[in-house]
Structure 1
Amino acid sequence: MAESSSKGLRRIKLGSQGLQVSAQGLGCMGMSSFYGPPKPESQMIDLILHAVRQGVSFLDTSDIYGPFTNEILIGKAIREGGLKGIVEIATKFGIKYCDDGTREVRGDPGYVREACEASLRRLGLDCIDLYYQHRVDTRVPIEVTMGELKKLVEEGKIKYIGLSEACASTIRRAHAVHPITAVQLEWSLWSRDVEKDIIPTCRELGIGIVAYSPLGRGFFSYGPDMVNQLSDQDFRKCRDADGTIFSSRDEKIVPSKDMDEFRHEKTIPPEVSDDGRTNLDRKPPDSHPTVEMLPRGLAMTICIKVPIFLRACKWRHSEISVHMSLCILSPQ
């Protein structure tokens, strides 16, 4: 049995609803999809168990990773490592593969319940600790989706509710139906648009932030030459007709309403801006990193997921140096 190290990462409160997790989480997407071909299952289980021994107890997955195979992998790691009651599992619903190869965003109540129960089976769990809506379905009022999630909480199938890549107004409307514990979004030196409205909204409402890709999907640790080392199956290497790098992850997702609202809910990948530029085209901001901007007494906790297999590095910008193996910003 893998036991979380008492000498490892400290535990923190994520949001204000009672969820406690390790200060660093393990994002498991790249083990099964998107970042090249699936990795050997036995090696990935060993990696997960190693992370838990170091104190990482917050594991993040989704039904779209694989699809489905990443949740199955996490379920096997839980069984083989005896991790029930030791780790906190976050998974997601809301993006569905269609028969024609496109992906559709769904948030209707029937699908919400169906997806949750399928994730429980794949994970081998009776209850999911944190259940996110992966992308917002703008065809369905968020209040309707939240109403079904609230029922799942009352039935004991999920403990806490989260949103991924939702705009500030949607977060407020959802939170009015049932408290949101965490919002997951991309936040790093080159993806800072969330600081204008979303971060202040979460601070006001006491909602935790789970920031994915804080190392810029590997570019901040490996540098631009990383592109030349990526496999053809790695979505970070996908390009359009004129050679512009873009994310294949969401480029075929069917928009729910008009394109403006579609973009507003950020179902278009955050690394591609509305003007068509990618983050590779953007210059680093002149201001200090986000870590410098957060005041003491902050009314929220930020848990940053960093794949454990990324080498330790120092993130330097201006006068600030942040060691990414300690990637957590929390109330002082």
Structure 2
Amino acid sequence: MKYRKLGNTDLNLSAVTFGSFAIGGWLWGGTEQNAAVDAIKASYDLGVTSIDTAPIYGQGLSEDIVGHAIKDLPRDKVQILTKFGMRWDLEKGTLVFNSQDGNGNDIGIYKYAGKESIIKECEDSLKRLGTDYIDLYQLHWPDVTTPIEETMEAVAELIKQGKVRYAGVCNYNVAQMSEAEKYIDLASNQVPYSMVLRDIEKEIVPYSLENGKGILAYSPLERGLLTGKMKPGYKFGEGDQRATRAFYKDENLKRTNEFLDKIKPIADEKSITLAQLVILWTLEQPGISVTLVGARNAEQAIQNAKSTDASLTKEEVGIIDKHLNNLVLVP
């Protein structure tokens, strides 16, 4: 495993960081908890020391699973990245959408990052994770109902108390990052980034490079699209959010797989999978600190962790880019 310094901090994260959205089960058609614990442990055995989670993933279940998985590991050898600012147990802020929890109960999902909420969320996360500090505490989504000043000053207070080491944000634009910087030293921005979703290259990447901010790229495999395993006619499980997204239309699956077939010879030459090749390409992109990659079981986790055993030359990245530039997906 390769490790990368996050922005201007002293946090060294594993280039492949374990993403814990899917193991929470919510919006992913359920989860198998023992398999999820095994996945995290298998990742750690191969050098994946960084784990990204959030309270909203399974309404606390993902954090519970992470806490169980790391309880016997040396705490100073693991980097816990979690989030705040999405509530399902408090009707305050902005209602994002209505959903159901893992027990079938109706819940409303709210973006809210008021001070009192952040303090409570942090305490709840610490209990679920079984730790007394969080390495990187990230605002999950911008909250337009709370001043950025109030949000960041609350996190700064948690840092002073020793409950949080570094502050981060997720899904922030450059203007929001710049505003937050007035009140706290941001370590990073966690944003979606993949071969087929590259919006951040316009503004966020240049800003982050110029200001020493890390970028945590989530969904680098576009939730399975770029693995080559999803074919036209693919059937999603009940409650799986991917079923309604344009990326997974049959025509886009067809076009994406045609692109993947063109770059597969590079993967074959290195004896790696297409997914591993995609992860390597993502890590070669300017400004990207680490990739967040999810796994539901040990087999998937091992494949993800072994990605950095290989490497790409500039020429190989260029060949991939050439084919990628010809990939056009339908809306």
Scaled by the length of structure 1, the TM-score of the pair is 0.73
Q: Distance in 2 between matches of 1:235 and 1:96?
A: 19
Kindly indicate whether the alpha-carbon contact (under 8 Å) linking 1:26 and 1:58 is maintained by their aligned counterparts in 2.
yes
SS in 2 for 1:305: strand
1:225 paired to 2:231: yes
Residue number among 149, 154, 163 corresponding to 2:160 in the alignment: 154
Deviation for aligned residue 1:123: 0.7
Partner of 1:14: 6
Residue number among 134, 138, 145 corresponding to 1:139 in the alignment: 145
Q: Distance in 2 between matches of 1:307 and 1:126?
A: 25
Q: Distance in 2 between matches of 1:148 and 1:227?
A: 47
Partner of 2:292: 305
1:165 paired to 2:160: no
Kindly indicate whether the alpha-carbon contact (under 8 Å) linking 1:184 and 1:211 is maintained by their aligned counterparts in 2.
yes
Residue number among 194, 200, 208 corresponding to 2:214 in the alignment: 208
Partner of 1:30: 22
Q: Give percent identity, aligned residues only.
A: 29
Give the direction of change, closer, same or farther, for the CA distance of 1:122–1:39 in structure 2 (3 Å limit): same
Partner of 1:41: 33
Give the direction of change, closer, same or farther, for the CA distance of 1:127–1:292 in structure 2 (3 Å limit): closer
Amino acid at match of 1:30: A
Aligned residues: 270
SS in 2 for 1:159: strand
RMSD: 3.1
Amino acid at match of 2:225: F
Give the direction of change, closer, same or farther, for the CA distance of 1:66–1:169 in structure 2 (3 Å limit): same
Partner of 1:114: 120
SS in 2 for 1:214: coil
1:52 paired to 2:58: no
Cα-to-partner distance string for 1:139-163 (whole Å, 9 max, x where unaligned): 1111110011000000001001110
Deviation for aligned residue 1:227: 6.3
Residue number among 195, 201, 219 corresponding to 2:201 in the alignment: 195
1:90 paired to 2:81: yes
Amino acid at match of 2:75: K
Q: Distance in 1 between matches of 2:55 and 2:151?
A: 17
Q: Distance in 2 between matches of 1:155 and 1:227?
A: 52
Give the direction of change, closer, same or farther, for the CA distance of 1:222–1:293 in structure 2 (3 Å limit): closer
The structure with more helix, counted as a fraction of residues: 2
Amino acid at match of 1:213: S
- Greater CA deviation, 210-219 or 99-108? 99-108
- Structure 2: where are the runs of 5+ without partners? 92-105, 260-280, 322-331
Kindly indicate whether the alpha-carbon contact (under 8 Å) linking 1:57 and 1:86 is maintained by their aligned counterparts in 2.
yes
Cα-to-partner distance string for 1:78-107 (whole Å, 9 max, x where unaligned): 21x334222100001111125763211101
Q: Distance in 2 between matches of 1:49 and 1:158?
A: 24
Kindly indicate whether the alpha-carbon contact (under 8 Å) linking 2:5 and 2:11 is maintained by their aligned counterparts in 1.
yes
Deviation for aligned residue 1:292: 6.6
Deviation for aligned residue 1:229: 3.4
Kindly indicate whether the alpha-carbon contact (under 8 Å) linking 1:227 and 1:236 is maintained by their aligned counterparts in 2.
no
